[in-house]
Amino acid sequence: MKFTSAQDELALVRAAQTDTEVFAVLYDRYVQRLYHYCYHRTNNVHDAEDLTAQTFLAALEAFPRYRRDGHFAAWLFTIARNKVVDYYRRTPNVPLEESITPPSNSDLAGETETSQQKGILLRAIRALPEDEQELIRLRYVAELSFIEIAKALHKSEGATKKMLYRLLARLKSQMEAEHE
Amino acid sequence: MNEYMSPEFEGRLHDMLAVPDADAAFVGSLRSKIIERIEVKTFRRFSPRWVWGIAIVLVLLIIGLLVFSPQVVEAMRRLLGYIPGVGYVEQGPALRVLSAPVTVQKEGLTVTIEEGAADPQRTVLLAQVEGYTQERYKAQNGVQTCKDMPQLVSADGTVQGIVQVAGSYEENNVLVRYEFQAMPAKPLDATLEIPCLLFDANYKDWKIPLHFQVADETNQVAPVIELPTSLPTQPVPTSVSTPSTESAPAGFSIVLKSVAELKDGYVLSGSYQWSDTRIDPSAVVISDSNITDVKGQDVPVQPVDTGPSADSSPQQIPFAYQITGKNFAWPLHIIVNSISVVQPGQGTFHFDAGPDPQVGQTWNVNIDVPVGQHIIHVETIQLTGGAPNALDMIGFEFTMTSDPAVASALVDDMNPIIECKSGCGGGGGGGQDFGVSGLDSGTGPFVDGWEAKGYSPAGVKTFLISNMSIFFKGPWQVSWQPSSP
């Protein structure tokens, strides 16, 4: 069974709610994206794995009550965000701002060439307010669609797009200014 | 919506933020654990004891359907309950309510947790704050001086994170609705921990002890009765401007799903639905609706939380209305006179604010911009900014008109220039929409605007008009009356 589009995903979620074994298919689809997001928030493999596991197990428990609104990813990442909030409550010594220093998995040859730009960009992102950092994470780390981000952040899709594109414009001009 | 950011920059951003994949061993191990949990659930569902249980329930249900009165069948449908102020709750032994209001006084403020309910899905607390001035509340809403979130800590140490918090100022008090994750079934004691009350850094470290008890169904929780969901005959939506081939939500209808009877009224729930799968709920606005009695008199209603929905269709907007009063000329009619739907069309125009535009300056531009099948007339453009709590934010406000079918539209700078002398990021910077307003009648002007930190308004700009919203007229109507008014 292979599901690709949003419509297919809705069918998959429906199937999973009457046949919980199908939940494993949803797991396969989202496990890496969810892990990436958790890694980004914690900068720690062990904690990222722990949060990923907690999120999926909580989602499995809550799944029969999930309101099938066609945005499973938004629901899943809302659970993950709550788990991350709990994580920072339990480990208050880790400042949230420090979490956005992920090691790149890009190739070593390109590493030197882009390290300066990357440093500028990461510094710029780190200086953003938390809600804007979260927008960046949900879009470029978790790879959520605009409508999924909008659902997760309780905003309209249009407002989410506007917010992100204005934020990117700002980041871009900041990078260019610092590069010069 | 404009997507003026270059895919190349987005690609670079994506690559730079890339992190390593999860270890295959971890992924496989977690997958096995999930499948194991699923198998336990499946086994529980179909163990012989449960099969007997299911069989007995089925027999009772069939006997009930054949022999007992409709009231008995209705009683068996009581899956949900409704608590005024709290909203829909899941009935059953796991439903707990606050045993008594709790009051804590500190630093000149009095906080009372008036009501609370915990079910397997969420925990809701209703609080009242006395002594917090309206001026302070208004100022605080604009700039939250503390962003630490409240949490609910059970007596066993389990922490429930906040899901939603909302406040309003009414009659010299602030009313706050906290929604937390579900509490464990036991223990029944918990502490509401608020790092900063109303997100105000001046009122720190509130800890409010709470005691819950298993809900007394007959006392606080109103049963929710499902209603037959046969679709009434509905008109086909037509654009206010005709003829039109614009995206209308085909099959639009109002469907009533349940009613809960309260001491002083009713709560009706249902959804506005349509069959066109291309139209997402975020594109549809119910722009003109009301509830009347049979004589056409408006009935006092208040929208309330819609609670959980068992419906699977994404082409719907759920609603729940609390009706105050019971003495009406029945039946009541829920009427939607018009809806608006966002259309895919876009249009652009150029504007030159000159080399040194000033905040407050207004230009009567009178530019006609074709968007889809309509002409958006941009009447005026004003440079805005310099609000007391955001002195460095600047942007444009656009006042537009069009034919009566057009409800609203958004305007964006296609190539915004941001000049940040000391960085745009810190200190709460960023873009902000300050309003899109259209009139329900579709006969007046509508406004869109935004402000951004470091935005440069000078020179020639290319603006994009998008997200044009079009009115479709009804009316659509559904009627309801209680079984024994």
| Region B225-251 average pLDDT | 60
Tell whether the model's pLDDT for residue B309 goes beyond 70.
no
Q: Are B215 and B468 in contact (CB under 8 A)?
A: no
Question: What per-residue confidence (pLDDT) applies to B46?
Answer: 29
User: Does A2 lie in the same domain as A84?
Assistant: yes
pLDDT value at residue A94 = 47
Q: Does one domain contain both A63 and A122?
A: no
Q: Please indicate whether residue A62 or residue A162 has the higher confidence score (pLDDT).
A: A162
Q: Mark whether A14 and A89 lie in a shared domain.
A: yes
Where does the pLDDT of residue A5 fall: very low under 50, low under 70, confident under 90, or very high at 90 and above? Answer: very low
- The pLDDT mean for chain B works out to 77
Residue B246 burial class via C-beta count within 10 angstroms: exposed 0-12, middle 13-18, buried 19 and up = middle
Contacts of B37 in chain A (CB under 8 A): 57, 60
Judged by a CB distance cut-off of 8 A, whether residue B425 touches chain A is yes
More confident residue, B14 or B45: B14
Q: Are A89 and A113 members of one domain? A: no
For residue B408, what pLDDT band results from cuts at 50, 70 and 90? Answer: confident
Measured between CA atoms, how close is A24 to chain B, in angstroms?
Answer: 7
B residues 55..84 contacting A (CB < 8 A):
none
Instruction: Answer with the residue of higher pLDDT: B445 or B103.
Output: B103
> Using the beta-carbon criterion (under 8 Å), do B412 and A174 form an inter-chain contact?
no
Q: pLDDT, tens digit, for every residue of B157-208? A: 999 988 777 777 777 888 888 988 899 988 899 999 999 998 888 999 999 9
CA distance B180 to B207: 16
Q: What is the CATH number of the domain that holds A11?
A: 1.10.1740.10
Model confidence at B277, in pLDDT bands (50, 70, 90)? confident
| Interchain CB distance below 8 Å, B312 and A82 | no
Whether A100 is covered by a domain: the verdict is no
Q: Where among A95, A118, A148 does a domain terminate?
A: A95
Asked if A59 and A113 sit in the same domain, the reply is: no
- Look at B314 and A132 and tell me if their CB atoms are within 8 Å: no
**Mean of the pLDDT values across residues B323-346?**
89
**A113 pLDDT above the threshold of 60:** no
User: Residues B122-147: what's their mean pLDDT?
Assistant: 80
CB proximity under 8 Å: B 304-333 to A: 308-309, 311-312, 314
Residue ranges and CATH numbers for the domains of chain B are 86-214 (2.60.40), 224-334+473-480 (2.60.40), 347-471 (no CATH)
Identify whether residues A128 and A86 lie together within a single domain: no
Is the model's pLDDT at B50 over the cut of 60? no
Q: Is residue A142 part of a domain?
A: yes
ipTM exceeding the 0.85 mark: no
Distance from the A110 Cα atom to the nearest Cα atom in chain B, whole angstroms: 11
B38/A172 CB distance under 8 A:
no
| Chain A environment of B20 (Cβ under 8 Å) | 39, 103, 105
User: Final residue of a domain: which of A61, A95, A129?
Assistant: A95
Do residues A77 and A16 share a domain?
yes
Does residue A27 form part of some domain? yes
As for how many domains chain A has, the answer is 2
Top residue of A26, A51, A67 to mutate, by most chain B CBs within 10 Å, is A67
Identify whether A103 is part of a domain: no
Select from B1, B425, B431 the Cβ nearest to the Cβ of A158: B1
Q: Residue A4: which domain range?
A: 1-95
Q: B417 CB near a chain A CB, below 8 Å?
A: yes
pLDDT at B140 over 70: no
Q: Tell me, yes or no, whether A86 and A154 share the same domain.
A: no
> Closest residue of B to A71, CA-based?
B314
**Is A101 part of a structural domain of the chain?**
no
- Give yes or no: residues A90 and A114 share one domain: no
Same domain, A89 and A149: no
What span, in angstroms and rounded, lies between the C-alpha atoms of A149 and A169? Answer: 19
Tell whether B4 lies on the interface with A, counting CB pairs under 8 A.
Answer: yes
Residue B72 — pLDDT band, cuts 50, 70, 90?
Answer: very low
Query: Which residues of chain A have a CB within 8 Å of the CB of B28?
Result: none
Q: Is residue B475 over pLDDT 80?
A: yes
Report if residue A104 sits inside a domain: no
- Burial tier of B264 (Cβ tally within 10 Å: 0-12, 13-18, 19+): exposed
Interval B281-310 mean pLDDT: 79
- Residue B141 pLDDT class (50, 70, 90 cuts): low
Residues A14 and A68 grouped into a single domain: yes
| pLDDT value for B443 | 52
Which of A95, A118, A141 lies at the terminal end of a domain, its last residue? A95
Here the CATH number for the domain that contains residue A176 is 1.10.10.10
Q: What is the pLDDT of residue B105?
A: 94
The fraction of chain A above a pLDDT of 90, given in percent, is 12
Of A52-66, A134-148, B293-307, give the lowest mean pLDDT range.
A52-66
Tell whether A1 and A86 lie within a shared domain: yes
Entry pTM: 0.56
